[in-house]
Chain A
Amino acid sequence: MIKQMTAIAATGLLLAGCASPTAPVQEKVLGSSYTSIEKDANATTVRMYMWGGDEGINTYIDEYVAPKVKKEHNITLKRVPIETADLIQKLRAEKKAGKETGVIDVVWINGDNFRNAKKDGLLYGEITKVLPNMKYVDPQAQGSDSGTPTDHLEAAWGKVQYTFHYDKASVANPPKDLQELKSWVKENPGKFTYPEVTDFTGNAFVRHVMYGVESKETLKDPKADFKKTWAYLNELKPYLWKEGKTYPKTLAQLDQLYAKGSVAFTMGFNERRAEQEVKSGTFPKETRPLVLTDGSIASTHFLSIPFNAPNPNGALVTINTLLSPDAQLKKFDGTYWGDGTSLDLTTVSSTERQAFEDVPVAASTPKPAAFDGKVRAELDPAFFDVIRKDWPERVAR
């Protein structure tokens, strides 16, 4: 109630303060050449709204990207931290209120947030058609966002693989597949858990179980009864951390448990995410990667522009810069982030490709060969919903 009232009051205030200049007309922007977009973007401010939960990602934007766009295009880039789901709610409210000029220029988006944004018409238009650097982007990654066709509405920014990480000091023989994982959990009660399924990573853990235990036919039908999945999770439950009576609410909480040594495993999209945590001393030194033979779901994340972006020209130039091989290389490098590139490395120059290959890899990162034959496509977003709806009743209860 309180939240809702504040939201309404805030919307009211936003409506009252609606005197900002109108955004350039959409057809005109997307219909013009990139050179003229670049010219119009000169000396403007771009507000990038994105999930702010990772220090490495934040410093990448603040210390590398912002100076780069300032130098190359005289653009002032401002990063605004926000939960992506809240951002979609904000755009929905603005759309409903007929607010033609918003405050967000660039959004970081994927999965069901993209599906919702696309369904409700919250995105600017076919932006990838005008970006020159799209020629480097891997068409496979670009084609669909967790089963929803991207239809040029967003540009692939990074590509990651779901990877487990474990502490070698407490796990001598890491399990190779889900069945071995189950045996390990039973032999080591309280040392394993996964985030609850409202969390992006926790939901994906359940989808991995689906890939491991359900038949190919079942995996095509979101309406199927995933009996084997629920049975597997229920078998694990009594041996989980806190006997499965409760689960970490977010991946950040699971990471804390792992850092404290309460559990021996953590997990997440991005095979390189442990590098920084180990280097900073947060994760145990002996952190090692684990890719189960049942497969690892590949996930692509994207950049897009909201329907009412005040500065679409600046937004387009910023996104194009983020897709450039040098920005992607810096992002791939473990210094800041260590995020997989969305580029098809056969399209970049041989020196650039060599630079990607020369990036050192820590002991916590799997070798590329670890994923051979194990990469699984993301399931349809309808599966996300089924898991969110059924898991509380059939597993957590």
Chain B
Amino acid sequence: MWRGNAWPATLLITGMVVYGLFVSLSMTTWEDYSRLFRDPVFLESIGISLYVAVSSTVLSVLIGAWLAGFFAKQTGWTAQVLAVPLFLPHLGAAYLAILYLSDLPVIGPHEVNQFSIILTYLYKEIPFVFFYLLPVYRRLDHRYEELGLMLGLSRLKRFWHGKGVFLLFPVLEAAFIVFAFTLFAYEVPALLGVTYPKLIGVYTFDLYTQGDLSRQPEAFAISVLLTGILFLLLVIFTRTIRPLTERISKGRVE
């Protein structure tokens, strides 16, 4: 595994996020935020975006984690087939969806249930989750579960102490990355989304570019809000869950 110095990249990315946030904040006033929360189009848009992001995240993490668990025990090249979608950009995946899904009556693009968007994300994110978790699975020590068996623990407790505590944080990390990406993405919903309600990335871009540009502050307000939400999630993850899993895995609790 790569063990190089991550500081320059961290500094650059943090700098970009902080500066972006600073610019966005300077473009907005309280009025813009309160106007947003009175805008029914925005509220519906954020609702449908959360639905798409949450279902894409949950499904791709569950399926990706299951596949990683399955292939961790296998040797050979079969798992590498899953790497193919990783080389295709999201935009390409969306075009594939238009080409191959558009004439299926149930999951055609432009469907109100957003199935084609979710399927496109699954196609891209399951392999991501898979390759993110595969090394974790391969490092799991099976003797923990054997120990649990010897001590007469229940099936659930055996799983939790043998695998769960080691998997929890990597799974949440993968979930966070997928969620953050799918919540505010532009390309896939722009190509496959319905006219109303629009997913939040597309709605924000429209606010930013359309008409007399008087609604640009609202676009900035949305980006501030979403960055804030994601940042909050990140803080919760690192502050509460990581120490917890570390304590549990070192046996300091219970």
Note whether A and B form a binding pair.
yes
Contact A1 B212 (CB under 8 A): no
With both beta carbons as reference points, the residue of chain B lying nearest to A86 in the complex is identified as B209
Beta-carbon contact of A249 and B190 below 8 Å: yes
The verdict on A384 contacting chain B, using a C-beta distance below 8 Å, is yes
Within 8 A of A (CB), among B207-222: 208-213
A1-B227, A5-B16, A8-B20 in contact; A245/B209 too (CB < 8 A)? no
**Chain B, residue nearest A119 (CB):** B212
The answer to whether B16 and A9 have CB atoms under 8 Å apart is: yes
Contacting B194 at CB < 8 Å: which of A5, A246, A384?
A246
CA–CA, A268 to B206, complex, Å? Answer: 21
- Decide if A5 touches B212 in the complex (CB within 8 Å): no
Is A89 in contact with chain B by the CB < 8 A criterion?
yes
Q: Is the CB of A385 within 8 A of B211?
A: yes
Question: With a CB–CB cut-off of 8 A, which chain A residues contact B24?
Answer: 4
Residue in B186, B194, B196, B213 whose CB lies within 8 Å of A3 = B186
Question: Among B19, B23, B210, which residue has the most Cβ atoms of chain A within 10 A?
Answer: B210
- Nearest neighbor of A92 in chain B, beta-carbon distance: B213
Cβ-closest chain B residue relative to A202: B195
B195: chain A residues at CB < 8 Å are: 196, 245-247, 249, 392, 396
Q: Are B40 and A4 in contact (CB under 8 A)?
A: no
Distance between Cα atoms of A92 and B54 in the complex (Å):
36
- Chain A residue nearest to B23 (CB atoms) is A8
Known: A8-B23, A112-B212. A396 touches B190 (CB 8 A): no
Report how far A9 CA is from B110 CA in the complex, Å: 34
Closest residue on chain A to residue B39 by CB atoms: A393
Task: Give bound CA distance, A9 to B13, whole Å.
Answer: 10
Q: Is the CB of B20 within 8 A of A4?
A: yes
When distances are taken between beta carbons in the complex, the residues of chain A under 8 Å from B165 are none
Which A residue sits closest to B109, measured CB to CB?
A246
**Contact residue among A198, A246, A392 (Cβ-Cβ distance under 8 Å from B110):** A246
Contact A1 B16 (CB under 8 A): no
Judge whether B209 and A5 touch: CB under 8 Å: no
A388–B210 touching, CB < 8 Å? yes
Q: Is the CB of A1 within 8 A of B19?
A: no
A73 interface residue, CB < 8 Å from B? no
The verdict on A381 contacting chain B, using a C-beta distance below 8 Å, is: yes
Residues of chain B contacted by A396 (CB below 8 angstroms): 195-196
Q: Which residues of A contact B227 (CB under 8 A)?
A: 1
Q: Report if A85 contacts B (CB, 8 A).
A: yes
What is the minimal beta-carbon distance from B231 to any residue of chain A, in angstroms? 11
- Asked if A116 is at the interface of the complex by the 8 Å CB criterion, the answer is yes
Residues from chain B with a CB closer than 8 A to the CB of A384 are 211
Contacts of A246 in B (CB 8 A): 110, 112, 194-196
* B17-43 Cβ-contact flags toward A at 8 Å (1 or 0): 101100110000000000000001100
Q: Which residue of A lies closest to B203 (CB)?
A: A392
- Indicate if the CB atoms of A5 and B17 lie closer than 8 Å: yes
Complex CA gap A85/B213 in Å reads 10
Contacts of A4 in B (CB 8 A): 20, 23-24, 223
- Looking at B212, B223, B226, the one whose CB has the most chain A CB atoms below 10 A away is B212
Contact between chains at A245 and B194 (CB < 8 Å): yes
Q: Are B16 and A8 in contact (CB under 8 A)?
A: yes
Give the CA-CA distance A117 to B186 in the complex, in Å: 26
Do the beta carbons of B41 and A393 come within 8 Å of each other?
yes
User: When chains A and B are docked, how far (Å) is the Cα of A50 from the Cα of B243?
Assistant: 55
Say yes or no for A223: interface residue by CB 8 A criterion: no
On whether the beta carbons of B212 and A385 are closer than 8 Å, the reply is: yes
Instruction: Tell yes or no: A397 within 8 A of B by CB.
Output: yes
Q: Is B205 an interface residue (CB 8 A)?
A: yes
Docked complex Cα distance between A389 and B112 (Å): 21
A115 located at the interface, meaning its Cβ lies under 8 Å from any Cβ of chain B in the complex: yes
How far apart are the CA atoms of A1 and B18 in the complex, in Å? 11
Residues in B with CB closer than 8 Å to A116 are 212-213
Q: List, in ascending order, chain B residues with CB within 8 A of A392's CB.
A: 41, 195-196
- A1-B186 Cα distance, complex, nearest whole Å: 10
Residues of A within 8 A of B20 (CB): 1, 4-5, 8
Set of chain A residues within 8 Å of B19, measured between Cβ atoms: 8
Given contact pairs A245-B194, A246-B195, A388-B211, a sample of 11 additional A-B residue pairs in the complex whose CB atoms are under 8 Å apart: A3-B186, A3-B205, A5-B16, A5-B17, A8-B23, A112-B212, A115-B212, A249-B190, A385-B211, A392-B41, A392-B196
Top 5 nearest A-B pairs by Cβ distance? A396-B196, A246-B110, A246-B194, A385-B211, A85-B209
Residues of B within 8 A of A (CB): 16-17, 19-20, 23-24, 40-41, 110, 112, 184, 186, 190, 194-197, 205-206, 208-213, 223, 226-227
